[in-house]
Structure 1
């Protein structure tokens, strides 16, 4: 029998990651402050380190959850693409999802490289163009889900929310 929605585990992973990703994207202040102080040679207080660590630990958690999510998807599978929308939309959705998965690994790994190993060039990519690309892909993902639900009236959004 074909799978019609994502498993509860997949939905919990998806929404947990979404919350953590939005937190780190919207509140990078601790890491930004630490980076500014570090780069300018100013003293870094324990509070500054704690703020940066919150951002870093959430990034590491996102990385772990992304790996777990791929494992669960390999074991559980995924529902077939929603019927009723244009074929080109399925292609765009596959490309967006692939790019999102790539960034779910690239963002934390580049952040780890910058924060823990001092590879500043990766930190610049992490906080600059890669972060912007992540925002664009998240926007496409959300817009695509809403278009599927409200315009083409498919069950794509329902499969990742209530099942």
Structure 2
């Protein structure tokens, strides 16, 4: 199958699913073919929960919340049913930070609040308030505070300096 508008064959994975191989910047935005982008996170990696948290934290600290979102998404898709809500909420927080850094402050604030609510719901439902060392209370406070700030100021944030500490320090 070809993309008629560009004359390029569509990027496909081994199973034939469409995959966009364009390089991306640190916030996951596509760059022109041939441009130098940042390394992409491999998709579909199954990690231990502690590895997921550590890898996502490294990416957040590096100002790459879009890539942290992909790590959380892997856990969401491959983890046990009882933890999917946690990983989905963490992915929403990371993509919320991504949008606020890209300048989509209203969409970012919405995702930050949705993610915070998801973490809160999951912890209240399970009674696990620091799963895998994640400080859920501090993390949800970070998200709601950042959401309020970007709505008030309508100003993008620097993803690296505003990244949360998942462990609350």
Fold shared, TM-score > 0.5 on shorter chain: no
Structure (1/2) with the larger helix percentage: 1
Q: TM-score, normalised by structure 1?
A: 0.34
| Larger Rg belongs to | 1
Q: Which has the higher contact order (CA 8 A, sep 6+)?
A: 1
